[in-house]
Structure 1
Amino acid sequence: MLREIVEGFEETVVVEKPVSKELEITKYLLKYRDRPVLFKDVDGWEVVGNIWSKRERIARFLRTDNKGLLELLAYAIENPKDYRTSKSANFLKNREIPNLKELPIPKFYPRDGGRYFTSAMVIAKKDDFVNVSFHRMMVLDEERAAIRLVPRHLYSMWKDSVDHGEDLDVRIVVGNPVHLLLAGATSVAYGVSELKIASSISMKAFGKPVEVVDMGGIPVPVDSEFVFEAKITDELTDEGPFVDITGTYDIVRKQPVVVFEKMYHVDNPIFHVLLPGGYEHYMLMGLPKEPQIYASVKRVVPKVHGVRLTEGGCMWLHAVVSITKQHEGDGKNAILAAFAGHPSLKRVIVVDEDVNIYDDREVEWAVATRFQPDRDLVVITNARGSSLDPSGKDGLTAKWGIDATKPLSRKEEFEKVNI
């Protein structure tokens, strides 16, 4: 399916000549930041990056528009749907013992700790709960990698296994359609399966649920290009440095070792790489957070028209929210609610419904004409923020909100001229 998707985009750049997985892939992905790039020969493998590097491309694939994309994700998070179990999958045609050093796993930047899986999602099951989540993995040798586990759901599942003297059995998938990728990046309560969120997106967009095959009791999407059977062990090793979403290096930590045991792939597979700090990284990490902000703001302001995490803020630290004010003070309440909805958020601009939040010039115009710092600025000091922000310290940051909405008593003085 991935080949059909990539070759179906008119803007795809095809690189025919051999390309090295040592830093060279990065040069092309940076040159064509918002266009898919298909490499025909990376150590004999086909590789693709920047597939989902534009919001509009994602929306178009899911048969909607920018505003509809937010509503689609919000709906799917609130209304997970069952997936369907199939008896076969194309990736089951090819099975072999993996050699991670022979795969086209890139070293992206000079100071990287090694070659990194970046687009891989890990699927694990405990009792009846199936968790799907993104985890970077630094290749150590032919069969082992260091996996970054943030203390969330997969970490809890791994810790429980380790405490019982067991490795955690997982399936690692590479090369999936965007509804699976977006679902894998959502932050939902323990017990809510991201596979069911993906199935809900698929039902809305394509009229059919996600299909999976059972692999040793773990459901795996049939549309995966590569699938690895693996175990996360109790062994710890250094992981990093690694460039994260802000384009700066994350620190080195002790992280678990994952052992790769079997590899499956479709005929003529394409290996998906996710450029750290690239636009595709922004989209896949940021878009699933917008519904969280939307839901939080909607609890304090009934009419919320849109939420956008901005590319200039790495789609992680800066946001714009569009509302219709019903009372003075709604703008400031929306600011506080946005920070609550996405705790990593550092700056939020709240605008009226007549401002296109997807146009940076319109947003700046609203700030220029509807905002006064002495009355419309909200500053919160020593708040918990993003560990990815290099300007913060010990996880603390200052947050600021800009209320660029019109005063209700003088709305006509702030109207944009129109014909």
Structure 2
Amino acid sequence: MLREILEGMEDLIVIKTPVDKRFEITRHLLKYRDRPVLFKDVDGWEAAGNIWSTRERIAEYLGIRKEGILHFMADAMENPSPYSTVESAPFLKNSTADFSLLELPIPVYYPKDGGQYFTSAMVIAKDEDGFVNMSFHRMMVRDDKTAAIRLVPRHLYAMWKEKAERGEELDVRIVVGNPIHLLLAGATSVAYGTSELEIASRMSEKAFGRSLEVVDLNGIPVPVESEFVFEARITPELVDEGPFVDITGTYDYVRKQPLVVFERMYHVDEPIFHALLPGGYEHYMLMGLPKEPQIYASVKRVVPKVHGVRLTEGGAMWLHAVVSITKQHDGDGKNAILAAFAGHPSLKHVVVVDGDVNIYDDREVEWAIATRFQADRDLIIVQNARGSSLDPSATRGLTAKWGIDATKPLDRKEEFERARV
């Protein structure tokens, strides 16, 4: 459970004094950007943030090296494994229809936010063919029992739209407070028909030697490790959602989105609400890490030896990347740039380096650019490409993408070797 996970983190910050859920949680999470923070009193509840704000902490929990996260996730996405259905879960101990979303420790993170926001919530739904989807969706609380849910046109949107066009509602389960293998699985982008719960189950098998356990909650499987679970339905009705700060730290605009009606709440004894800071390092990790295997797979199709991929914190782990390769032919660096853009269409800037450069060290990457790159020879610019809707500098969704080939020329590579002892 989340409490046991937090208690096992040596760098945990505990805030024992009462904390206001309007902005004060944000101030603490910004102060301790890369350290987990446990709030003991948020309107009488406990909350935690920055739990998974570093690669090192994620890797330690999974029992792997940080460089192995990419391959760990790629394996799970390529080899999903069945989950196990059990009879009970700790969250079933506390069940009520008498609750108010307004009274829960759901923060208002920034001054212009449209309201209290679920940011770490994942939504689980089952279609009429039995396919189970799990995905992240922010939700703006409107009143005691309703919220506006942001649905990007992907799998949950397709499920909702099919129902909405018939005037029907989509039955869902909303989970908050889950371990990292579930969160990473929920953030993956896989083909329709591949369940994120099965991706999480594969991760659980590799990290802990056991499949993911779920309970059947009125027809929909829910992970037993969830702190909070809500029975809800997404209606055809559209309401205003936003403004809201997204991963780039800038405000997203108000748009019409579906209305969610919450009907019943379940939670473990002494639950901890996961407050995921928008635009914080934890947000970066959960959005960015699942994209690195996609970039890796795309580049590996054109360059056989790919050593690593890193979406950088400076680029909000969404817009900028570094890729490490071993060239076999001149031009491999430029092909790797184009393949990286294809693997993650939101990518705006990529640097390709040789295998002797540590992609997790920004100074080494900049050194490679300084000593192995010439702008008139090694710069690629792609104009008017589809980019990220989260990039405020883009124009109507179009952006200029640029790639830097900071690899050594094959015919002169000895001249570029670093002195070593």
TM-score normalised to structure 1 length: 1.00
Structure 1 partner of 2:78: 78
Separation in 1, partners of 2:291, 2:331: 24
Separation in 1, partners of 2:15, 2:329: 55
Tell me how far 1:7 sits from its aligned partner: 1.2
Structure 2 partner of 1:52: 52
Structure 2 partner of 1:103: 104
1:234 partner amino acid: P
Structure 2 partner of 1:193: 195
Asked if 1:93 corresponds to 2:93, the answer is: yes
- CA deviation vs aligned residue, 1:143-200 (integer Å, no higher than 9, x gap): 0000000010000000011122210000000000000000000000111100011111
Structure 2 partner of 1:114: 115
Structure 1 partner of 2:213: 211
| Residues 330-341 of structure 1 aligned to structure 2 (within 5 Å) | 330-341=332-343
Structure 1 partner of 2:132: 130
- CA deviation vs aligned residue, 1:282-317 (integer Å, no higher than 9, x gap): 000000000000000000001100000000000000
- For structure 1, list consecutive stretches of 5 or more residues without a partner in the other structure: none
Tell me how far 1:82 sits from its aligned partner: 0.5
Separation in 2, partners of 1:59, 1:332: 31
Structure 1 partner of 2:38: 38
Structure 1 partner of 2:395: 393
Structure 1 partner of 2:223: 221
Separation in 1, partners of 2:137, 2:358: 34
Separation in 2, partners of 1:300, 1:183: 27
- CA deviation vs aligned residue, 1:108-157 (integer Å, no higher than 9, x gap): 00000111000000000002210000000000000000000001000000
Deviates more, 1:91-100 or 1:221-230: 91-100
Structure 2 partner of 1:235: 237
Tell me how far 1:238 sits from its aligned partner: 0.5
Asked if 1:16 corresponds to 2:16, the answer is: yes
Aligned to 1:131, what secondary structure does the other structure show?
Answer: strand
Asked if 1:69 corresponds to 2:75, the answer is: no
Asked if 1:319 corresponds to 2:321, the answer is: yes
Aligned to 1:101, what secondary structure does the other structure show?
Answer: helix
Separation in 2, partners of 1:101, 1:128: 33
Q: Equivalent of 2:174, from 146, 149, 172?
A: 172
Separation in 2, partners of 1:400, 1:271: 40
Q: Equivalent of 2:282, from 280, 283, 297?
A: 280
1:6 partner amino acid: L
Aligned to 1:107, what secondary structure does the other structure show?
Answer: coil
Structure 2 partner of 1:266: 268
Separation in 1, partners of 2:418, 2:188: 37
Separation in 2, partners of 1:333, 1:206: 38
Aligned to 1:64, what secondary structure does the other structure show?
Answer: coil
Structure 1 partner of 2:350: 348
| Residues 289-328 of structure 1 aligned to structure 2 (within 5 Å) | 289-328=291-330
Separation in 1, partners of 2:66, 2:359: 10
- CA deviation vs aligned residue, 1:229-269 (integer Å, no higher than 9, x gap): 00000111100000000000001000000000000000000
Separation in 1, partners of 2:59, 2:336: 26
Separation in 2, partners of 1:303, 1:67: 15
Structure 1 partner of 2:359: 357
Separation in 1, partners of 2:316, 2:8: 27
Asked if 1:402 corresponds to 2:398, the answer is: no
- CA deviation vs aligned residue, 1:338-387 (integer Å, no higher than 9, x gap): 00000000000000000000000100000000000000000000000000
Separation in 2, partners of 1:92, 1:11: 31
- For structure 2, list consecutive stretches of 5 or more residues without a partner in the other structure: none
The count of corresponding residues between Structure 1 and Structure 2 is 419
Structure 2 partner of 1:139: 141
Aligned to 1:113, what secondary structure does the other structure show?
Answer: coil
1:12 partner amino acid: L
- Which segments of structure 1 move beyond 3 Å, counting only runs of 4 or more? none
Separation in 2, partners of 1:269, 1:276: 22
Separation in 2, partners of 1:204, 1:366: 35
1:110 partner amino acid: P
Separation in 2, partners of 1:257, 1:158: 11
Separation in 2, partners of 1:302, 1:66: 22
